């Protein structure tokens, strides 16, 4: 297998070039061996991509060859596989998906007990070693049990016990032809919400929009929400672990702002509770935590790191700017359907529009942009930038990338763990200050990047 497909959180590459069925079989046999092989129980599901079914078939063949058993969940949102592992106390799970990457990509998300992600430093390096050394173990073939409808029923019952019936909220959802298609609307309606949908048919070509929900890709959703009087709109990513919300005025709401609202309204008078957030979130997170006596715990970006802190700290909520939202109520998982229900509950609790709730928060100017940088150099570029800003005498945070604290705001430059990109995020107290901060960050970044011209 190609080394470059093993990334920080998962295995991911272009199907047919980086990943083929034989790779899937090896991943299955190696992961099952890592978990203990014979007698272990592993949930398997896959997304809508054209290559996912054949990759999942090969993966399952590899798993059962070790004597491990497969609980087959078929085409399903990623969070339901995590739920199955945690709720049924299985030994692990695998989802065949490339999440929000373009259609030609595919990959594998692996998780251990309690749905803990098997990433680099938490087991994925051992899976790779088993493949490299061919040190897997085989045994009498394990069984395969189809459990898709069973798990879906258990999931709906679990949600119903938490939320009861939510009524009076009108929602427009856009699954983007991804794994949330059909299933998401079905669950939300069963819990009492009034739900309309667009792009709600599973299609691995993602014909309606990119599997990455953004302000641009959700333009149709935003327009429809505003013009047709919906309370909220929700755009899901390709495998349904992210929910990007649109308020009643058609504005996209970042994940960290949703987290701020959860803290402010659900943790009021609950001093001492904990939340987890990542390094590129708004300073509003810390401010609202201070106002309410909540303990904020900062983390590296990514499911692997935030879920670990959610579980170890017994946190109530977690969030990322990318709209991964985590909930202590459901095993600490990031779950886009659960997030949708939680926002509906928020509107019911407060009796206010989402735009009103956001309007009550202090205002900061915000900037976010991604820059294409080859995988081969992106982490070295960040290391060079860290040295650059240290020598300039700035106060920096290097938990994930390099975050530079300035008098009127801050910015962070970090390498993406899933795409060949460097991401810039900045925040300031005014538009003028933000423009100045972004200009400095971009100039510094481009200056370092020129050192690598012709090297990639």
The catalytic site residues sit at 99
Radius of gyration of the chain (CA): 22
Residue 88 near residue 56 (C-beta atoms within 8 A): no
Residue 303 near residue 334 (C-beta atoms within 8 A): yes
User: Residue 305: which of 8, 34, 41, 1 has the closest Cα?
Assistant: 8
Residue 289 near residue 208 (C-beta atoms within 8 A): no
Residue 284 to residue 264: CA distance in whole angstroms: 11
HEC sequence for the chain: CCHHHECCCCEEEEECCCECHHHHHHHHHHHHHHHCCCCCEEEEEECCCCCHHHHHHHHHHHHHCCCCEEEEEEECCHHHHHHHHHHCCCCEEEEECCCCCCCCEEEEEEECHHHCECCCCCCHHHHHHHHHHCCCCCCCCCCEEECHHHHHHHHHHHHHHHHCCCCCCEEEEECCCCCCCCHHHHHHHHCCCEEEECCCCCCCCCCCCCCCCCCCCCHHHHHHHHHHCCCEEEEECCCCCCEEEECCCCCEECHHHHHHHHHHHHCCCCCCCEEEEECCCCCHHHHHHHHHCCEEEEECCCHHHHHHHHHHHCCCEEECCCCCEEEHHHCCCECHHHHHHHHHHHHHHHCCCHHHHHHCCCCCEEEEEEEECCHHHHHHHHHHHHHHHHHCCCEEECCCCEEEEECCEEEEEEECCCCCEEEEEEEECCHHHHHHHHHHHHHHHHHHHHHHCCCC
Residue 428 to residue 436: CA distance in whole angstroms: 9
User: Residue 401: which of 417, 409, 392 has the closest Cα?
Assistant: 417
The residue with tokens 């205002």 is: 363
The residue with tokens 């299933």 is: 183
């Amino acid at each position: 297998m190609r080394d470059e497909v093993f990334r920080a959180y998962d295995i991911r590459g272009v199907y047919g070039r980086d990943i083929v069925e034989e790779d899937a079989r090896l991943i299955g046999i190696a992961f099952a061996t890592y978990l203990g092989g014979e007698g272990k129980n592993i949930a398997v599901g896959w997304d809508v991509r054209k290559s996912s079914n054949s990759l999942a078939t090969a993966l399952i063949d590899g798993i059962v060859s070790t004597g491990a058993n497969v609980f087959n969940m078929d085409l399903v949102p990623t969070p339901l596989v995590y739920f199955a592992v945690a709720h049924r106390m299985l030994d692990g799970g695998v989802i065949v998906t490339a999440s929000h990457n373009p259609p030609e990509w595919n990959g594998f998300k692996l998780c251990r007990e309690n749905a803990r992600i098997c990433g680099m430093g938490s087991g994925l390096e051992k899976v790779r070693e088993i493949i490299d050394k061919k040190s897997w173990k085989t045994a009498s073939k394990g069984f395969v049990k189809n459990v898709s409808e069973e798990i879906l029923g258990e999931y709906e019952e679990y949600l119903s016990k938490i939320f009861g019936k939510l009524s009076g909220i009108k929602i427009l959802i856009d699954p983007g032809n991804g794994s949330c298609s059909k299933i998401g609307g079905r669950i939300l309606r069963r819990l009492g919400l009034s739900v309309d949908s667009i792009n709600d048919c599973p299609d691995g070509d993602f014909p309606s929009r990119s599997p990455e929900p953004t302000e641009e890709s959700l333009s149709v959703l935003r327009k429809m929400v505003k013009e047709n009087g919906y309370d909220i709109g929700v755009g899901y990513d390709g495998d349904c672990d992210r929910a990007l919300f649109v308020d009643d005025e058609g504005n996209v709401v970042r994940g960290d702002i949703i987290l701020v609202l959860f803290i402010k309204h659900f943790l009021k008078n609950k001093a001492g509770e904990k939340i987890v957030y990542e390094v590129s979130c708004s300073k509003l997170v810390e401010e609202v935590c201070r106002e309410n006596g909540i303990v904020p715990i900062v983390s590296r970006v990514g499911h692997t790191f935030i879920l670990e802190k959610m579980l170890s700290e017994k946190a109530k909520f977690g969030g990322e700017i990318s709209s991964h939202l985590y909930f202590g109520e459901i095993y600490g998982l990031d779950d886009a359907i659960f997030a949708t229900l939680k926002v509906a509950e928020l509107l019911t609790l407060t009796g206010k529009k989402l735009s009103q709730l956001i309007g009550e928060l202090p205002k900061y100017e915000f900037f976010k942009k991604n820059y294409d940088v080859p995988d081969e150099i992106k982490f070295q570029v960040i290391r060079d930038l860290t040295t650059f800003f240290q020598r300039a005498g700035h106060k920096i945070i290097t938990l994930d990338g390099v975050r530079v604290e300035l008098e009127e705001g801050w910015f962070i430059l970090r390498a993406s763990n899933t795409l060949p990109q460097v991401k810039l995020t900045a925040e300031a107290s005014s538009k003028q200050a933000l423009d100045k901060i972004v200009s400095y960050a971009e100039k510094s970044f481009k200056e370092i990047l020129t050192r690598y011209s012709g090297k990639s």
